[in-house]
Amino acid sequence: MDSSVMDVLERVRELFFKYGVRSVSMDDICRDLGISKKKLYQFFKNKHDLVSKLLELERRNFEIIFEKHNFDGVNSIDVLLIVSKEISDRFWDISPSMTFDLKKYYPEIYTKHIDNRVEFIFVQIQLNIKKGIRDGMYRADLSIELIARLYIRRLIDIHNPEFLPSGKFSFQSLFETMFDNFIRGIATEEGIRYYEQQKGKVKFKKSK
């Protein structure tokens, strides 16, 4: 993706998260960026195309979290802590209302986005659980596929406006609570002791 397009999308991301996807028009984006509509439409065919490219960038940013770290020889719990901090820091300002707008007004784009993200997370979490079991950090009686699917379900629930009312909980508090419960549910006694030692070293980004 061209760097100019990425710069525009990063600003659009901020506008969507602040005002909602539906409320921000292409004219609003032009005014905020100080560019003409002709220039904006050189980047995007229409708003649907813009939303599609924004979610494509979001997926790529999410995948980079896993790619930029060398996890060879790293404790499986540390891997989840590092990745979780990255996720929280990058996505802390996402609100359920953002998801509501995407699901209602751009259902096909949103469904494709979620399907691609779920597929990626599913593979990564299964690898982590297998490693944790081998290392004695996670319980050996776990169903790897089931636990991976439950983790994904919890991530989806965080963004579900029907499950969690908008504005009542921050993304940060939801994510940290979900993550803590997840680790405690799958870890061995040794794993929980290690988690207790390590979790204080990870400082999650605080909501404004």
pLDDT score recorded for residue 208:
46
Separation between Cα atoms, residue 107 and residue 64, nearest integer Å? 25
Q: Which of 132, 134, 146 is nearest to 183 (CA)?
A: 132
Give the CA distances from residue 156 to residues 5, 51, 70, 96, 165, in Å, rounded to whole numbers and listed in that order.
28, 19, 27, 10, 14
pLDDT score recorded for residue 205:
58
Q: Could you say which DSSP state residue 34 is in?
A: T
Digit-coded pLDDT (tens) for 150-193: 988 887 787 666 766 656 777 677 778 888 999 999 999 999 99
Digit-coded pLDDT (tens) for 47-89: 999 999 999 998 898 888 878 777 778 999 999 888 877 776 6
Which pTM does this prediction carry? 0.77
Domains and CATH numbers, the chain: 3-199 (1.10.357.10)
Which H or E run contains 68?
none
Digit-coded pLDDT (tens) for 5-49: 999 999 999 999 888 899 999 999 999 999 999 999 999 999 999
Report the 10 Å Cβ neighbour count for 3: 7
Give the CA distances from residue 60 to residues 1, 125, 137, 181, 203, in Å, rounded to whole numbers and listed in that order.
10, 17, 29, 27, 24
Separation between Cα atoms, residue 16 and residue 29, nearest integer Å? 10
Which H or E run contains 57?
helix 47-67
Residues contacting 116, CB < 8 A, separation 6+: 59
